[in-house]
Amino acid sequence: LSGKMGPDAQVISMLPYHGGTDLGQDRITKLTKFNFLLSCLRRDSHKIDSFLKVLRCRAAKMQPELC
């Protein structure tokens, strides 16, 4: 999908996490990092949801009740 969006979309594969593949040795560290990952996923899904709502409203200019 990102290939169809153009070369700028390839930046998607670059994640802000720079900690490497080691999640830590103890259980607390692993759970903390996993919780952070889930919070990022939740935040990103909210951004996508908001974007889709705006897109739907723009596409339905003739039907404002959908917004």
pTM of the predicted model as reported, rounded to 2 decimal places: 0.50
Instruction: Report the domain count for the chain.
Output: 1
Domain of 39? 25-67
Q: What is the mean pLDDT of the chain?
A: 75
Decide if 1 is inside a domain.
no
Question: Using CA atoms, how far apart are residues 39 and 45, in angstroms rounded to an integer?
Answer: 10
Residue 64 in domain: yes
Confidence of residue 39 (pLDDT cuts 50, 70, 90): very high
With respect to residue 55, please indicate whether it lies within any of the assigned structural domains.
yes
- pLDDT (0 to 100) of residue 11: 56
Residue at 6 is within a domain? no
Q: Distance between CA atoms of 57 and 53, rounded to whole angstroms? A: 6
Which is more confident, 59 or 37? 37
Long-range contacts of 23-29 (CB under 8 A, 24+ apart): none
pLDDT greater than 60 at residue 60: yes
| 19 located within any domain | no
More confident residue, 29 or 67: 29
